[in-house]
Chains A and B, each alone.
Chain A
Amino acid sequence: MKYQSQAVALPYFVAAIGLFVGQILFGLVMGLQYVVGDFLFPEIPFNVARMVHTNLLIVWLLFGFMGAAYYLVPEESETELYCPRLALALFWVFLAAGALTILGYLLVDYATLAKYTGNDVLATMGREFLEQPLLTKIGIVVVALAFLFNITMTVLKGRKTSITVVLLLGLWGLAIFFLFSFYNPTNLVLDKFYWWWVVHLWVEGVWELIMAALLAFVLIKVTGVDREVIDKWLYVIIALALVTGIIGTGHHYYWIGAPGYWQWWGSIFSALEPIPFFAMTVFAFNMVNRRRREHPNKAAVLWALGTGVMAFLGAGVWGFLHTLAPVNYYTHGSQITAAHGHMAFYGAYVMVVITIISYAMPILRGRACNSRKAQVLEMWSFWLMTIAMVFITLFLTAAGILQVWLQRISDSPMPFMAVQGQVSLFYWLREISGVIFLIGLIAYLVSFFVKDGDKPATT
């Protein structure tokens, strides 16, 4: 650790991992509810479990992004954080707000929660991924602004690198586009249209800047490749990501009441969206092949390479699979969407956060890398979680294809619930894969506590 203040990243990473565990547990609950419909009913209905599952994901990724920024920015800027105390205070505020929100979901009836948190003043709740009470949303904005202030001031007083500039752009974009979550017109079409300005312009826009910046940082550190080389590829890749991704928003505008031309615009530009992901994979492998040193943290290198591959598969390939309007006409809102969502989120954002944690955590704990034994276990967790996620995706894809066929294409379309019964085998298989994912996650947790005489791995 080069700068004292980088240490504030530690609690952020710990919280991120903790919430990740919660997310997976609720994922398993939902997976079971898919096949045993009344499981935990009425204590935790499916919609509550789903809200917790997706909101925990968003919150822990935000914790990861913030921790990453606190770790990375002082080192890149070659200066201490502008205000480490603010960072620490924000940690507790954000954690408390997040925990209260989740507890609110679980313990309070949603309509009651809405009533007591100001939803009648400004109705923003009850929309997918944006279920947070108004107070939480305002809290997110306040925390994000204070965080951005802290990080921006640090960058301004220190060295400005491409990585910090791109990271800042991504983080500012994240905060700015979140403001659209406060816009909820009664007109459902407008509501949906701008809802995507949060959701799509996050995950297929500004978050990609964050992801690319984190990946570039770790690659510079673990490969020793010249910064100049990494920087220019970073710019090319994010240029391609936004060039294709911004108009690519159109692939969400096919069937929500927007004009028909979005089918053409959306199909054409989202057909190009896999290119930046492919470039990112090639870039990561290339840099590792051209490495000028053997970094002892093998696990971090594995996560970095895995991010490239899985982001390409999940976001690139599985996205392309159903993005063309004539295909999407049949697959829209089916299990194919769920398959894509799972692998894309895991491959792009979960893995990039774990990459930076894997790289930074040992350093935050006072060593260059973990012991060999700990790293081997961490790599086991990589393969268990990644392969489990591949199978979750494959089973959901199979379920989706069958669903689309039975419900939308065949001559005598079956009702939704009848189809769900027909594909339940795949839901069981998905749940089993989910259990394996959990085992991988437990292995990951354990890897933090493996002691090998406190001997760091040597190369």
Chain B
Amino acid sequence: MSGTFTKAMARNIFYGGTVFFFLLFLALTFDTTNALPKTDNRQNITPAVAAGKHIWETRNCIGCHTLLGEGAYYAPELGNVYVRRGPEFIKAWIVSQPTGAPGRRQMPNFHLSDEEIDQLIAFLKYTSEIGNQNWPPNIEG
């Protein structure tokens, strides 16, 4: 079977298709932006949560842990750690690092103040309450 195959047509399809699907993506993004207040737990973003997120970022926690499944895969998921361990355990854990157990993975001590740890925990609590389609499958993350 013979046919035509022109560069002009291929190029037009590339431009047209790209613009088309990017506009579709923007439309879905628009809808998502409107729908997010129902799921993203924004009503619970307090100054402490904001400060906690800042601590989370400036200690590069994502370099070992995952948060809602994104990050490094070296240390446990922390999106649900508030539910899994509770605030007291988290606090005690952070303070007692590193364990120094030979051959075991080590977490640095970040020398956080009591207030900073509370803020970090507030951030983790807020994160655990984000409506994220019930991921992870179980409490172990």
**B129 CB → nearest A CB, Å:** 10
The answer to the question of A446 belonging to the interface, with a C-beta cut-off of 8 Å to chain B, is no
Contact partner of A236 (CB less than 8 A), chosen from B13, B49, B100, is B13
Q: Is B24 touching A247 in the complex (CB atoms < 8 A)?
A: yes
The answer to the question of A228 belonging to the interface, with a C-beta cut-off of 8 Å to chain B, is yes
B residues within 8 A CB of A95? none
- Mask, B1-33, CB within 8 Å of A = 1, is 000011100110110011011101100110110
Q: Is B7 touching A228 in the complex (CB atoms < 8 A)?
A: yes
**A240 CB → nearest B CB, Å:** 8
The size bracket of the interface on B is 35 or more
Q: Is A257 touching B40 in the complex (CB atoms < 8 A)?
A: yes
Segment touching B, from A30-38, A57-65, A365-373: A30-38
B residues within 8 A CB of A265? 28
B residues within 8 A CB of A192? 68, 70
The answer to the question of A99 belonging to the interface, with a C-beta cut-off of 8 Å to chain B, is no
B residues within 8 A CB of A260? 133
The answer to the question of A380 belonging to the interface, with a C-beta cut-off of 8 Å to chain B, is no
Number of interface residues, chain A, beta carbon within 8 A? 77
Q: Is A189 touching B36 in the complex (CB atoms < 8 A)?
A: yes
The answer to the question of B110 belonging to the interface, with a C-beta cut-off of 8 Å to chain A, is yes
Q: Is B64 touching A47 in the complex (CB atoms < 8 A)?
A: yes
The answer to the question of B54 belonging to the interface, with a C-beta cut-off of 8 Å to chain A, is yes
Q: Is B25 touching A416 in the complex (CB atoms < 8 A)?
A: no
In the complex, A242 Cα to B69 Cα: how many Å? 25
B residues within 8 A CB of A413? 138-140
In the complex, A192 Cα to B67 Cα: how many Å? 10
In the complex, A249 Cα to B26 Cα: how many Å? 12
Q: Is B31 touching A259 in the complex (CB atoms < 8 A)?
A: yes
Q: Is B76 touching A416 in the complex (CB atoms < 8 A)?
A: yes
Q: Is B17 touching A243 in the complex (CB atoms < 8 A)?
A: yes
Residue of A nearest to B109 (CB): A42
CB within 8 Å of A: which B105-139 residues: 105-106, 108, 110, 126-127, 130-133, 135-139
Provide 22 A-B residue pairs closer than 8 Å at the C-beta atoms, listed in order of the A residue: A34-B74, A45-B64, A110-B60, A111-B58, A111-B59, A126-B56, A128-B62, A186-B50, A186-B53, A188-B126, A192-B68, A232-B6, A232-B7, A235-B7, A243-B21, A249-B25, A258-B32, A329-B135, A333-B71, A333-B77, A407-B140, A414-B140
Q: A126-B62, A250-B28, A335-B73 are in contact. List 4 more A-B contacts (CB 8 A).
A: A38-B101, A45-B64, A239-B14, A243-B18
A residues sitting closer than 8 Å to B (CB atoms) are 30, 33-34, 36-38, 41-42, 45-48, 50-51, 110-111, 114-115, 119, 123, 125-128, 131, 162, 184, 186-190, 192-193, 228, 231-233, 235-236, 238-239, 242-243, 246-247, 249-250, 253-263, 265, 329-330, 332-335, 337-338, 407-409, 413-417, 420
